[in-house]
Amino acid sequence: MHGDETVGREVLLHLIDFLVTNYGRDPVVTRLLNSTRIHIMPTMNPDGFEATEEPDCYYSHGRYNKNGEDLNRNFPDAFENNNVTIQPETRAVMNWIKNETFVLSANLHGGALVASYTFDNGNAVTGSSEGYSKSPDDDVFIHLAKTYSYNHASMYKGTGCDNRQTFPEGITNGYSWYQLEGGMQDYNYVWGQCFEITLELSCCKYPPADQLEEFWRDNKVALIEYIKQVHLGVKGQVTDKDGTPIPNAIVEAEGRSHICPYRTNQYGEYFLLLLPGIYVIKATVPGFKSMLKTVEVSSNSDNFSALKCDFCFSEVSIKTRASSCPKIPLYQELERASAAGKPTLNIFVLMTVMLVILK
């Protein structure tokens, strides 16, 4: 993502080579590729990489794109207005997210050794006043981050890169580490329906070339185990009485609704990452009665298939219209709505007390 943070770029090239050369030879790789659609983008900022002429462990102008913009501050933000010009690289990634059904992803960085998870930004709605910005799927994100850190050669130790910075178990909530707006992982989770974490893979942003092989060895198992987590939870299809897929039906687990509701894709498919447990899955087609199904999720990542749970709306014979959330600070709007409701509640309580006194 940042052109001068080079380890991720090299590690992903190694990952591509590892997958294609071990298909048909390694049983885990073979099952993974037979059951999983994997997209790999080795670099999001090629101009920044080319501009980094002198390797530096700490900082260079290669962090930015040709226009001098930090791409990890360039996405629409769910908490506040991000007054930046969307860059071509960012726009390309946003279109990529929109046109694919991504379920799980990671964006790779350097300068620290930690797995960081959403939210990177926050407000009172997500508990940021406590120094932690919690998403509806916080338990899943902690699991994903730990999956990477504990399968990494040393990330799980949490020692950080200097005495001032430690990360217990090698993970951190993004907001707890430091607040940022316009990050890709929050955007992908809110608007892309994709669970994304940020992986900081090296204390030195641009290390010597002779260290790259070691970085690959440190991350190889973690990358494979992380990709396998896409098979957690529940997946399925929503159809009408004729078996025709219904796109844009809302499908979510009760108790963890998203501010931008998660919807089926053009094939009527949905994917929800959930940890083992019992859940009520709710499917809604606008204008019709919702359907509820109780499911018991087990740990299916090693089986390379999430639990299957389909919904058939027998009374529906039309496709729903396309629906998408506006690219505005959705959590800011929710905070305002929440604050606006409080005086009404206070007045109601006051009136109740007065009625009791009068009686």
Q: Which tens digits make up the pLDDT trace of 292-320?
A: 999 999 987 778 999 999 999 988 766 66
Radius of gyration over every alpha carbon of the chain, rounded to an integer in angstroms: 22
Backbone angles phi, psi at 355, to 5 degrees: -65, -40
| Collapsed DSSP state (helix, strand, coil) of residue 116 | strand
What is the CA 9 to chain-centroid distance, rounded? 20
- Please, which pLDDT band fits residue 345 given cuts at 50, 70 and 90? very low
Q: Which of 322, 354, 115, 351 is nearest to 219 (CA)?
A: 115
DSSP state for residue 59 in the 8-state scheme: -
Q: Which of 26-35, 83-92, 262-271, 310-319 has the lowest mean pLDDT?
A: 310-319
Residue 55 to residue 211: CA distance in whole angstroms: 13
Catalytic positions: 200
Please report which confidence band the pLDDT of residue 357 belongs to, taking 50, 70 and 90 as the band edges.
very low
What's the half-sphere exposure (Cβ side, CA atoms, 13 Å) at 242?
6
Q: Report which listed range, 54-63, 136-145, 291-300, 318-327, is most confident.
A: 136-145
For residues 304 and 301, give the distance between their C-alpha atoms in angstroms, rounded to a whole number.
Answer: 5
Phi, psi of 41 (to 5 degrees): -115, 100
Kindly report the pTM of this predicted structure.
0.93
Q: What average pLDDT does range 193-215 have in this prediction?
A: 96
Q: What share of the chain is helix, strand, coil (3-state, %, to 5)?
A: 40, 15, 45
pLDDT at 317: 67
Task: Take residue 97 and report the two structure tokens written for it.
Answer: 């997210």
- What was the pLDDT predicted at 343? 53
* Nearest by Cα to 112 from 34, 198, 36, 1: 198
What are the pLDDT digits (tens) for 317-331? Answer: 666 666 789 999 999
- Residue 224: which of 273, 158, 155, 151 has the closest Cα? 151
Sign (positive or negative) of CA dihedral 19, 22, 23, 27? negative
Model confidence band, residue 124 (pLDDT cutoffs 50, 70, 90): very high
Mean pLDDT, the chain, rounded, equals 92
Would you state the pLDDT for residue 206? 94
- The residue to which tokens 């099952």 are assigned: 31
**Confidence class for position 349, pLDDT limits 50, 70, 90:** very low
Q: Using 50, 70 and 90 to split pLDDT, how confident is the model at 340?
A: confident
210-222 average pLDDT score: 96
Q: In the Cβ-directed half-sphere of 2, how many Cα atoms lie within 13 Å?
A: 24
Coil/strand/helix, residue 165: strand
CA atoms within 13 A on the CB side of 23: 10
Residue 346 has pLDDT above 90, yes or no: no
Residues in the chain, how many? 359
Indicate whether 273 pLDDT > 80: yes
Query: Regarding predicted confidence, which is higher, 69 or 53?
Result: 69
Per-residue confidence (pLDDT) for residue 354, from 0 to 100? 41
- Residues of 263-281 as b/e, b for ≥16 C-beta within 10 angstroms? bbeeebbbbbbbeeeebeb
The residues pairing with 198 across neighbouring beta strands, listed in sequence order, are 107, 116
pLDDT: is 102 or 52 the higher one?
Answer: 102
pLDDT at 352: 44
pLDDT above 70 coverage of the chain, percent: 93
Give residue 216's identity as a one-letter amino acid code. W
- Alpha-carbon distance of 32 to 25, in angstroms, equals 12
ω before 119 within 30° of 0 (cis)? yes
